[in-house]
Amino acid sequence: MKAAKFEYSQPAELAGALQLLADLDAPGPIKVMGGSQSMGPMLNLRLTRPNKVVDVSRLAELRTVQAKGGTIRIGAAVTHAEIEDGVHAVLRGSMLQYVAGGIAYRAVRNRGTIAGSLAHADPAADWVLTLSALAADIELQSAGGKRTVPMDAFMLGAYTTQLREGEIIAAVTVPQLDAGARWGYYKFCRKTGEFAEASCAAVFDPQRKRARIMLGALDGAPQPLPGLARLVATTGQVPASDVIAQALAQVGDDPVKQQMQLAAVTRCLQQALMTPEAMIDQKEYAA
């Protein structure tokens, strides 16, 4: 199947893109396109039929990465592959680089963007889970101005976000972890490259007094496991299986799903308690 007819625009500047999105007289819906790794298939299957598509993937304002004041600001149109390859030095050796290398396939990573993934808001997506664990902030922009939404509040449910009409994701801001911080990320896929059936991300940063364990691949947004995070931060050890299972019982009651979640959380925490160098070298993404 091919996409229904639509008007395609690729503005040269962000201001021009925002003006197009603010057009109240447009005859039909307007969609923003980043890397087109989600939008493209939806157009071809006619799951979405916009009157106009505004491509922001080449906007220079959305393709920068900057470190400032203990945070890293990543432009919306930065691709997974650029993060994976360490094109921007500040991301080398980071949790973000590790996660980026396990997203789908290289062909997808070459074009897919960090903001495109967030805006699509698939519950099994890697960036949705990772940025929740990192307590990222999402910078939203429209012709009327900017606002910032915490990642914890950005995703309202499956494929549903805080984005309003005429608004785009301009950037993602994540805290720079302290040298003593530990993190882990693990997901179960039927085969490498597919979306996860169970996933977990954990971040422990003693200097910031932050301990977060997030469970992903659910029916909606990632869910925190605060009690488990406090226990790990206090003991410095991976809890026993029955303790983890008890924490997971609050999330769902599917025994098969719970077993995959138990393994994902356990292996994620095992990674988090290793040295950063060992975690970066370990590339086991699929069961």
Residues 54 and 106 in one domain: yes
Say whether both 263 and 203 belong to one domain. Answer: yes
Q: What pLDDT, on a 0 to 100 scale, did the predictor assign at position 179?
A: 87
pLDDT, position 195: 87
The beta strand positions in the chain, using DSSP E, are 7-9, 30-33, 52-55, 65-68, 71-75, 137-142, 145-150, 155-157, 160-161, 168-175, 182-188, 198-205, 210-216, 223-224
* Whether 54 contacts 33, CB under 8 Å: yes
195 domain residue, yes or no: yes
- pLDDT value at position 193? 82
Q: pLDDT at position 285, please?
A: 32
Asked whether residue 167 falls in the same domain as residue 218, the answer is no
Same domain, residue pair 8 and 149:
yes
Name the domain count of the chain: 2
Here the CATH number for the domain that contains residue 206 is 3.30.390.50
**Within this chain, do residues 87 and 145 fall inside the same structural domain, yes or no?**
yes
Predicted TM-score (pTM) of the model is: 0.92
- For the CA atoms of the chain, what is the radius of gyration? 19
- Same domain? 79 vs 169: yes
Return the pLDDT at 284.
39
- Check residue 275 and give its pLDDT: 55
Question: pLDDT at position 208, please?
Answer: 87
Which of 153, 157, 168, 161 is CA-nearest to residue 76? Answer: 168
Q: Which of 150, 176, 202 is the last residue of a domain?
A: 176
Regions of the chain short of the pLDDT cut 70: 1, 275-287
> Are residues 100 and 117 located together in one domain of the fold?
yes
pLDDT of residue 165: 92
